[in-house]
Structure 1
């Protein structure tokens, strides 16, 4: 199970964002390929992530709006180089078309799992961002019977 926090990268949420870094096993840093200003903020966000997470936290750099190639303001090569220099995984995606969106989350989960397998993340350390819980009991029964409607607001 993954818990995802979308902090929107806005300065007004920066103090709140810092609290989410503590205990995070992974982070997705997303910038808009059509707005260089979002790319230019990556260094300060990366500094926060590095200072507030454990050294083995998985960080993936994602260039969003890959569907807007004609409006591109940050080259693929430039972002890839930034990612390589900083030890980040990198991909471009499009939230609009869905291109590489699922892949970003799957890559993060796979890399976190790999870090657990090779001992880079300690399941017993709270700061690892990973909680080990026993699996559900085996032999449970699923039912296809419809659940009764409840009265009142379902929200």
Structure 2
């Protein structure tokens, strides 16, 4: 793979209620650090990450759009759903309402995004759950959404599923990698056409290496 920068560029969106940790998940992925007190996302924020899929012998660039979780920005963030190949649908395992609201976010994504989009349900903030029956542990909260309930709903909706912690980094990169593998499988099966699907771009040969087709802007709305 000498001279290869990346083979595919995949567009991801991160959606869910405000304060479930979407921005912290993105910063953990891109910068390998924990964003303890992030400012509320106004509209969208962008981050990118190169990951390697060894069994595919492929380098993939993830272009991730972190969308605001407040109703006032919903009409704006919907425009970023268009053309996405992957979606992280995030809820807080210590906040049941954020899990219930995931149904509305999923309906939005399915209405505005590519019909073949790969969606992974991510239960964030597992680091906050106390393993003890009492809530005496400092800084711990009671889990309000069981792993079994969330996994069952994900299966019913045809979603991938993982629980993660932006604070510790547990399963953060794994969530993106699972979704990426699923997208690449769809590419191989012809579900995604890299020439016509805006969320999946195949890098074009340039000289002795492979370079990104720079027609897609790094900021602003992706359609």
TM range (shorter): 0.7 to 0.9
Q: Does 1:50 align with 2:117?
A: no
Q: Secondary structure at the match of 1:51?
A: helix
Of the three residues 189, 196, 200, the one matched with 1:130 is 200
Structure 2 spans left out of the alignment, 5+ residues: 1-60, 131-141, 211-223
CA distance in 1, matches of 2:192, 2:151: 26
Residue in 1 aligned with 2:155? 84
In terms of fraction of residues, the more helix-rich structure is 1
Q: Does 1:11 align with 2:71?
A: yes
In terms of fraction of residues, the more strand-rich structure is 2
Residue in 2 aligned with 1:147? none
Distance 1:139 1:86, change over 3 A: closer
Deviation at 1:136, TM superposition (A): 5.0
- TM-score using structure 1 length: 0.83
Deviation at 1:139, TM superposition (A): 6.7
Q: RMSD over aligned Cα, in angstroms?
A: 1.7
Q: Secondary structure at the match of 2:65?
A: coil
Structure 1 spans left out of the alignment, 5+ residues: 141-155
Of the three residues 93, 99, 105, the one matched with 1:39 is 99
Residue in 2 aligned with 1:28? 88
Residue in 2 aligned with 1:143? none
Deviation at 1:24, TM superposition (A): 0.4
Indicate the structure (1 or 2) with the bigger Cα radius of gyration. 1
Distance 1:139 1:88, change over 3 A: closer
